[in-house]
Amino acid sequence: MGLVDGRVAVVTGAGRGIGRAHALAYAAEGARVVVNDVGAGLDGSGCEAGPASLVAAEIRAAGGEAVANTDDVADWAGAERLVSAAVAAFGSLDVLVLNAGFLRDRMLVNLAEDEWDAVVRVHLKGHFAPLRHAAEYWRAEAKAGRARDARVVMTSSGAGLLGSVGQGNYSAAKAGILGLASVAAAELGRYGVTVNAIAPAARTRMTEGTFDLAAPASGFDAMAPENVSPLVVWLGSLEAAGVTGRVFEVDGGRVAVADGWRHGPARDKGSRWEPGELGPVVASLLAAATSPEPVYGA
């Protein structure tokens, strides 16, 4: 038996790259998979059914169970259809892996409104909309006495954790995903749902223009997308029942827990501060605090 044998998993953005690796890894460990991909280009333009259908066919050819779905995850009705597709095809939904996204990189002084809106829409709303419909399904199941031991795995980024020069829209959306994951973990635990996020690094269409990610001629390929998927599969398993509200960095053979914002040094006067008093106060607080990690590309 595989680690997720018999579980039903939806993977968004699963036609290529990391999402494709997730879908194949879930199927290899026994899950029945809904392969979602709208088939858009790297910048989010266009739409083709081929990528999702090809991955679903690849899973079936290997003896697994999979169906393709091409709904837009950032469309409210499309996200609802995606969740319904899992229940219709396989009778339930146990795991939601949110991975879909694209880039429109610009320095802030050149970033256009539509480039901001498009990236935030697909990454952030594209996480919220499927999550919202899945949560409604899981709540209904719990109230009917059929609580699912369900899992959500969201996809943030190092850009969401630390920021990335030239990616203000992407960094903001990925940071928003971390906030959403924290709230979802706190709210959905009562229904038997855990929610975690990953910040992966791998060779994909989205990263090939940013980093030198050429595959090695031989030996371990540290930037292969397949390196990310084992953790994502484990987080979707029954073994991960006690893990929720956490963020993991994962790349190559490395898995790390990311420490997010937390309360730091403080001074309480017991009354309102005067503006002129605060210079030395802030200086003392910063001297006692840990310095922030540098922004990527700074």
The confidence score (pLDDT) of residue 208 equals 54
Give residue-wise pLDDT tens across range 13-37: 999 999 999 999 999 999 999 999 9
In the predicted structure, residue 207 carries a pLDDT above the cut 60: no
Residue 42: pLDDT above 90? Answer: no
The C-alpha atoms of residue 37 and residue 127 are separated, in whole angstroms, by 14
- Model confidence pTM above 0.85: yes
d(CA 79, CA 108): 30
Q: Which ranges in 121-216 belong to alpha helices (H)?
A: 126-143, 158-162, 168-188
Strand residue runs (E) in 70-130: 95-97
Which CATH code fits 8-257?
Answer: 3.40.50.720
pLDDT in tens, 98-147: 999 999 999 999 999 999 999 999 999 999 999 999 999 999 999 999 99
Q: Where are the domains of the chain?
A: 8-257
Nearest-5° Cα angle at 259, 258 to 264? 165
| pLDDT for residue 44 is more than 50 | no
Mean pLDDT, range 181-201, rounded to an integer:
97
φ, ψ at 195 (rounded to 5°): -135, 125
Ranges of H-type helices in 13-74: 17-28, 50-61
* Mean pLDDT (whole number) for 47-68: 91
pLDDT range class, residue 39, cuts 50, 70, 90: confident
Instruction: Give me the pLDDT at residue 167, please.
Output: 96
- Structure confidence at residue 34 (pLDDT): 98
Asked if the model's pLDDT at residue 58 lies above 80, the reply is yes
Tell me the two tokens of residue 167: 């990616």
Token pair of 105 as six digits: 């990189």
**Catalytic positions:** 157, 170, 174
Whether the per-residue pLDDT at 9 is higher than 50: the answer is yes
pLDDT of 48 reads 54
